[in-house]
Amino acid sequence: MKEGSYANMWDTPPSYSLYETGEAGRMDYFLNQLINGICQGAIYALMAIGYSVVVGVVGMVTFTHGEVIMIGAFAAYYMFFLSGNQIILGLIVSFAASWVLGYFVYKVCYERFFNAPRHVSLLTTIGFSMLIKNLSQIIFGPNQKPMLDVVEANFFRIGAVQISELQIVIIITVIIMATLLSLIFNKTKFGIRLKAVSQDKTASYMVGINVKRVAMLGNCLGCGLGGIAGLLLAVYYQTIQATMGGPLGMKAFASSVLGGLTDVRFSALGGLCIGIIENLGITVTTASFRDMFAFGFLILVLIIRPQGFVSKKGAKV
Amino acid sequence: MKIDPSMLKPSAIANSNTIKSTKSFILKYQVYFLIGSLLILSILPLFTNRSYILGVFCRIFLYSILAGALNTINGYSGQFCLGIAGFFCVGAYSEAILSTAAKMNFWIILPIAGIITALVGLLVALPTLKMQGIYLAIVTLGFSEIARLLALNWTSLTGGPMGIKGIPVPEIFGFALKTSRHFYYLYLVLAVIFLFVTSRVIRSRIGRAWMSIREDQLASKSLGVFTSRYKAINFMYGAFWAGIAGAMYAPYVRFIDSTYFTLDEGWNILSMVIIGGQGTLIGPIVGSVIVNYLTELLRPIGQWRMVAYALLIIVMMWWRPQGLAGASNSIVAVKGETRMRHRKVSRKEAQA
Amino acid sequence: MKKTILLLIVVSLVAPMLFAAGQSEAADTNVIKLGVLAPLTGTNAEYGKGFEVGMQMAVDKINAAGGANGKTLELVVRDSKGDQKESSDLARQFADDMSIYAILGDFTSGCSMANAPIVDAAGLVQLSPTASNPNYAGMSPYTFSIMGRQDSEAPFFARYIIQKYLGLNKVGVIYINSDWGASSYSNFKAEADRIGLNIVSAVNYVQDEKDFSSLITKLRAANPEVVLILDQGAVPQIINQIRGTGWNVQLATLGPGTSEQLINLTGKNAEGLVLSTPFFFDEADADLMAWRKEFVSKAGFEPTIHPVCAYDTVYLIKAAIEASGSGEITRQTIRDNLAKVSITGVSGPLKFNEPGDLTREYMICAVENGKYVVKEGFDYAKQ
């Protein structure tokens, strides 16, 4: 994003040998891949958290989450463009943009379908995600957009193991978000209502909770978290595109299912697991197999534990 | 391919009030109706030599089978399969590999491809018998992606990213089926066979077991239905026909690669089933006709076409969530108490 | 409700008949219509848009200059969505419509190859600007592609760019696992093995991949002296992510050509990048700059190699029409002349070989101070 000076920054003679050979080198290599996996897993975790908040309070699965993430990324893109890479502003704007989209998702895809069978709202979310994707292709243009140098490229090295500042920023942001969310869930009245609604809608209704309102706010909150995940993804991958949402939504879905769909903590764990498994799988083979590792692992876990890591009483999905 | 009365009879549960009156109307003249619609469809190619129109019809027949296959899983036994594109992929690749590498005859391959896909279906079904709802859905979704990626990466078998080209066209007694008109008839015949077989299966013991699983798995188990076995059979049956559809498709395009079988393809088929209506034989056909035609009719609006299609899906779900010709008092259409009320009404009607 | 349903079914069954009836209008003999298949929606919409704009620019220019042989060209653009079934149906539609003289497109090899039997039966040219599967052009006498065969560019890259120009030996390759990427890589590898270039690591990924960090770590562990990227769409992301890990290895790429998008998307990360390209937007060339400016104003983004090739396909058809002189123009004459013509398009000299694709000549370019610079004296392509 910044107009960088084209000083010959790669003029310095390249240092090729990052890794020692032999056992120690292989260990370092493995650790580096693990860090890649954790970083990717952290983003998946944030997407999955948002996803499971949505699924928890609404009680229906969604395929719009990829588009919610994409909108967050685009909001951040335009905010960075205007404000000159203010991360905090970007976070707020992408959260807000996805929150707003979440409101529409709720109105279009869930509100009328609480008493309809599952596949109805599911197809509506598929339709809505197509709508958003194609509209954004028309509005934002179909081509890739750059998102450069939002975070300085600094590195921390311990031997040959290196972690970039960007990766640290991402992991910290995800941890902060997860902590904030768990605070909301456990310490505020709103959070307790959210929990109640996600466990049993009828009972919540009977004790006087405005179920629809809480479901709507919870859905918006989950979408907002998705928007932040979108920002982090955009900063990490440095390019954004209107069609980027689809595969990401799938990953959020898969991570969330792995964690048991409605449990926020386990969903985060699910995302982390999928991120790590994918990257370790790529270490052995190559990235063409990425989704095979993700889905293969998920299927294996589901065969052993048919409801993911945790099966929570009450939450019916 | 239009309303075949025999399709509408499967069971008392699966028929809606809406359809019921239509049904009584059609039943009266069922033979004429059946013969009439088949006649129209079979002489249609004589009136037009536009391969475009015949091509669109081929697509409708193909998707009628695919959507119908998915409907036997989602609509009749109430499972939740999102991975129909994976079965389609397996069937198409089976045909392509057997006809190019093993040089086998299309008519022999056709059932073999179906059986291979059915076995794959069994492979998917076995570990998932205990799973329900969305967990089953994600497994089938994952299977679909894994099948596609296998096709992309298993270069020695599937040609990898290069795909398989030069798939030979089918022959009947030395007569090669080449043009869209030939394929029109091939697809029409296979679609009719599919509908006929499925309508028989649905009315058989197996079909009744599927529907009892759909309505209440626990109850049907307690009445002595081997739910696991019937669920596995159900998956195999759906996969079999998706495999047949794939095997029909490969020689039609003569070239396949893994980009044909993405998740979007799966959504496309799913949207046909749901828009048309689940749990009836006519539903997926209506869905296939509507979706394929509308996307063709919307062509003049260019890049707004997919926007309009997305809006159509949403409007359709708002206006008629059970689909245009769905089984509207079944669990696939209404949930919980509403359904019980529906049932009571229909029981009263039955007594009256 | 039952009436609605019945009505809908009837309408949808009758609609095609009306379609059929309505389309048989008499063809205007002074207009030559070209069918365009392009993915205007879906994942590849970016390229489809480039097609549409590039081809329309060519048509406008030709018509403004008096047309081809005095006849006006007209594009009939259809959205194939990148879906083979839709693309095939559209190809059939074009085949039925006798006022269509040639098809330009489709974008992906998958679609183009699915259409090959259709255009073969109809005797209608399908000229794809981008179909890169090496099997495509040979499928029928009527299928053409101007993407350029990878059995020339990839060996050129191994031999002249990496071994002679860069003087490096240990190569790490990262390529897209598509028909184009796989054939590029196998050609590159064959030549590398022949001339003794050491491929220390080769990794691939599928389309829509976003996270390359683990592949980069993998490549890095193999200590290559140069990393070669074989792709078109994802090259900027890979470059950014390689630099994002602080790895200042020499980078080289085969595929995107000298696209301004690449520089915009990578900023200073592209500095020092070496690439092969069949054409080059020379800042001194006013025509080319005007072309680029016009494209940007119409499309809203910088051109890649794809719209340039799309632009050239129209000129190829024009040349084929003009080659038939005063004789009658039919689908067949266009095909026969297209196989013979030789023009110099924006993307370089174009002349088809026997199967219907072409071997291009390549230049070596490097990115210096945010601009592409042709490395003179290393124009080995002409040998």
pLDDT value at position A10?
39
The one-letter amino acid code at C28 reads D
- The DSSP annotation for C232-257 comes to SSSHHHHHHHHHHTT---EEEEESS-
- Cα angle A283, A286, A287; round to 5: 105
Token representation of residue B342: 């529906």
Residues of C in contact with A247 (CB under 8 A): 208, 210
Token representation of residue C291: 């072309």
Partner residue opposite B145 with nearest CB, options A117, A131, A291? A291
Beta bridge partners of B164: B256
- Tell me how close the Cα of A77 comes to any Cα of chain B, in angstroms: 24
* Complex ipTM: 0.84
Q: Which of B35-39, C52-56, C352-356 is predicted most confidently?
A: C52-56
pLDDT value at position B255?
87
Is B161 within 8 Å of C6 when comparing Cβ atoms?
A: no
Token representation of residue B215: 């309505």
CB pairs under 8 A between A and B: 127
| CB contact at 8 A, B155 and B237 | no
Gyration radius (Cα) of chain A, Å: 20
Residue B221, phi then psi, degrees to nearest 5: -65, -45
User: Is pLDDT at C132 greater than 70 in this prediction?
Assistant: yes
Separation between Cα atoms, residue B164 and residue B159, nearest integer Å: 6
Partner residue opposite B146 with nearest CB, options A121, A296, A302? A296
Cis peptide bond N-terminal to C193, omega within 30? no
Over residues A263-277, the pLDDT tens digits come to 788 888 999 999 999
The b-or-e profile of C115-144 (16+ CB within 10 A means b, else e) is: bbbbbbbbebbbbbbbbbbbbbbebbbbbb
End-to-end CA distance of chain A: 42
pLDDT value at position B24?
65
Interface of A with C in 261-300 (CB under 8 A): 278-279, 282-283, 286-288, 290-291
| CB contact at 8 A, B95 and B243 | no
Residues of C in contact with A8 (CB under 8 A): 271-272
Over residues C281-328, the pLDDT tens digits come to 777 777 888 888 888 888 888 888 888 889 999 999 988 888 887 778
User: Is pLDDT at C382 greater than 80 in this prediction?
Assistant: no
Q: Where are the domains of chain B?
A: 5-351
Q: Which domains does chain C show, CATH number per domain?
A: 27-148+289-351 (3.40.50.2300), 150-277+362-382 (3.40.50.2300)
pLDDT category of residue A4 using cuts at 50, 70 and 90: very low
Of the candidates A305, A138, A148, A122, which has an alpha carbon nearest to the alpha carbon of residue A237? Answer: A148
Separation between Cα atoms, residue C362 and residue C278, nearest integer Å: 4
Is C89 within 8 Å of B52 when comparing Cβ atoms?
A: yes
Partner residue opposite C40 with nearest CB, options B22, B160, B303? B303
**Which helix or strand (DSSP H or E) is residue C365 part of?**
strand C363-368
Is C209 within 8 Å of A290 when comparing Cβ atoms?
A: yes
pLDDT value at position B56?
86
User: Is pLDDT at A2 greater than 60 in this prediction?
Assistant: no
Across chain C, mean pLDDT equals 82
Name the closest residue on chain A to residue C238, using Cα atoms: A237
Residues of C in contact with B163 (CB under 8 A): 110, 113, 133, 179
- Tell me how close the Cα of A239 comes to any Cα of chain B, in angstroms: 23
| pTM, 2 dp | 0.86
- Tell me how close the Cα of B124 comes to any Cα of chain A, in angstroms: 10
Mean pLDDT, residues C225-252: 87
pLDDT value at position B68?
93
Is A29 within 8 Å of C206 when comparing Cβ atoms?
A: no
- Selected residue of A36, A161, A164 to mutate for chain C interface (largest C Cβ count, 10 A): A36
Which residues lie closer than 8 Å to A145 by C-beta, 6 or more apart?
A77, A239, A240, A241, C265
pLDDT value at position B143?
92
Torsion of CA B195, B197, B202, B207, to 10 degrees: -140
Of the candidates A212, A4, A236, which has an alpha carbon nearest to the alpha carbon of residue A110? Answer: A212
Mean pLDDT, residues B328-344: 52
pLDDT category of residue B6 using cuts at 50, 70 and 90: very low
User: Is pLDDT at A9 greater than 70 in this prediction?
Assistant: no
Q: Which of A155-159, B46-50, C199-203 is predicted most confidently?
A: C199-203
Partner residue opposite A164 with nearest CB, options C244, C261, C300? C244
Over residues B177-236, the pLDDT tens digits come to 888 888 888 999 999 999 999 989 998 998 888 988 888 888 888 888 888 889 899 999
Separation between Cα atoms, residue C252 and residue C228, nearest integer Å: 5
Lowest-pLDDT choice from A6-10, A267-271, C131-135, C370-374: A6-10
Which residues lie closer than 8 Å to A38 by C-beta, 6 or more apart?
A171, A272, A275, A276
Which residues lie closer than 8 Å to B112 by C-beta, 6 or more apart?
B94, B98, B104
* Interface check A6 vs C, CB under 8 A: yes
Name the closest residue on chain C to residue B16, using Cα atoms: C2
- Cα angle A174, A135, C306; round to 5: 95
Which residues lie closer than 8 Å to C313 by C-beta, 6 or more apart?
C55, C58, C104, C127, C128, C129, C146
- Tell me how close the Cα of A124 comes to any Cα of chain B, in angstroms: 5
Answer whether CATH 1.10.3470 is correct for domain B5-351: yes
Which residues lie closer than 8 Å to A309 by C-beta, 6 or more apart?
A258, A259, A260, A263, A266, A269, A270, A301
Which residues lie closer than 8 Å to C126 by C-beta, 6 or more apart?
C91, C102, C103, C105, C112, C115, C116, C119, C142, C143, C144
Q: Which of B33-47, B94-108, C338-352 is predicted most confidently?
A: B94-108
| CB contact at 8 A, C254 and C157 | yes
**Which helix or strand (DSSP H or E) is residue C199 part of?**
strand C198-205
| CB contact at 8 A, A10 and C249 | no
Partner residue opposite C215 with nearest CB, options A162, A166, A282? A282
Is A166 within 8 Å of C46 when comparing Cβ atoms?
A: no
Partner residue opposite B306 with nearest CB, options A61, A120, A134? A134
What is residue C32's three-state secondary structure? strand
pLDDT category of residue A99 using cuts at 50, 70 and 90: very high
Token representation of residue A111: 């509100």
